[in-house]
């Protein structure tokens, strides 16, 4: 009696098991595809050291941050997120230049690509400088004053002009030379307002 049918049956069963998408055998094809799409859509600066990133897509974000008709807290958050993104892209571009000098000094067939890389990098640096200046200005405006009087409730209450934790985060993100002094002012103001309105 031949044993080939049994052997082939075992091999077939083994093949079915190896194709199974059970978590014990690793992520399913759908999970892997989802992860790949997410990585592609959210390319971080750390993964972009082999090419120069553009900042042209951040024009709209800068416009939202500049919109004086939006609440101060929303504008502050917009500047924080934009500034963080610009810093990341600018640093990634510098790393790309360090690793691939041809992105800056390319000649011949690479000349046009090098020019485009320099232009993209320059754009990011200029946008970063503008965003930092405006971010710094907004933060300092929010200190004048830090505390306001709320009369809406019928009583005069000293309340924070803007969320103190949010303002602290903004100061730390910006990291100006007088960061410690600004944080100290917030700490003092926190002691002067009603604990329910910080």
> Does residue 117 carry a pLDDT above 50?
yes
Is the per-residue pLDDT at 151 higher than 60? yes
What is the percent of the chain where pLDDT is above 90?
A: 50
| pLDDT higher than 60, residue 146 | yes
What is the pLDDT confidence band of residue 106, given thresholds at 50, 70 and 90?
A: low
* Residue 176: band (very low, low, confident or very high) from pLDDT cuts 50, 70, 90: very high
Helix (H, G, I), strand (E, B) or coil at 163: coil
Place of tokens 């790393």: 95
65, burial (CB in 10 Å: exposed 0-12, middle 13-18, buried 19+): buried
pLDDT of 148 above 80: yes
**pLDDT tens for residues 6-63?**
343 433 444 433 444 444 444 554 554 444 444 333 334 334 446 789 999 999 999 9
Confidence at residue 1, expressed as pLDDT on a 0 to 100 scale: 46
| pLDDT reported for residue 195 | 60
Report d(CA 110, CA 49) in Å as an integer.
18
CA angle 161, 163, 168 (to 5 degrees): 110
Q: What is the pTM of this model?
A: 0.69
Q: What are the C-alpha distances in Å from 34 to residues 30, 38, 92, 163?
A: 6, 6, 25, 37
């Amino acid at each position: 009696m031949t044993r080939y049918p049994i052997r082939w049956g075992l091999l077939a069963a083994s093949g079915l098991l190896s194709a199974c998408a059970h978590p014990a055998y690793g992520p399913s094809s759908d999970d892997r595809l989802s992860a790949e799409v997410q990585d592609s859509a959210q390319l971080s600066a750390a993964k972009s050291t082999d090419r120069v990133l553009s900042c042209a897509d951040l024009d709209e974000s800068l416009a939202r941050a500049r919109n004086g008709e939006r609440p101060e807290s929303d504008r502050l958050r917009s500047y924080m997120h934009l500034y963080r993104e610009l810093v990341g892209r600018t640093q990634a571009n510098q790393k790309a230049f360090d690793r691939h000098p041809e992105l800056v000094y390319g000649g011949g067939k690479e000349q046009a690509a090098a020019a485009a890389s320099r232009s993209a990098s320059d754009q990011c640096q200029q946008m970063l400088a503008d965003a930092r200046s405006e971010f710094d200005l907004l933060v300092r405006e929010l200190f004048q004053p830090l505390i306001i009087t709320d009369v809406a409730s019928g009583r005069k209450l000293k309340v924070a002009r803007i969320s103190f934790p949010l303002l602290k985060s903004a100061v730390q993100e910006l990291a100006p030379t007088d960061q410690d002094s600004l944080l100290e002012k917030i700490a003092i103001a926190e002691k002067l307002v009603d604990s329910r309105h910080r």
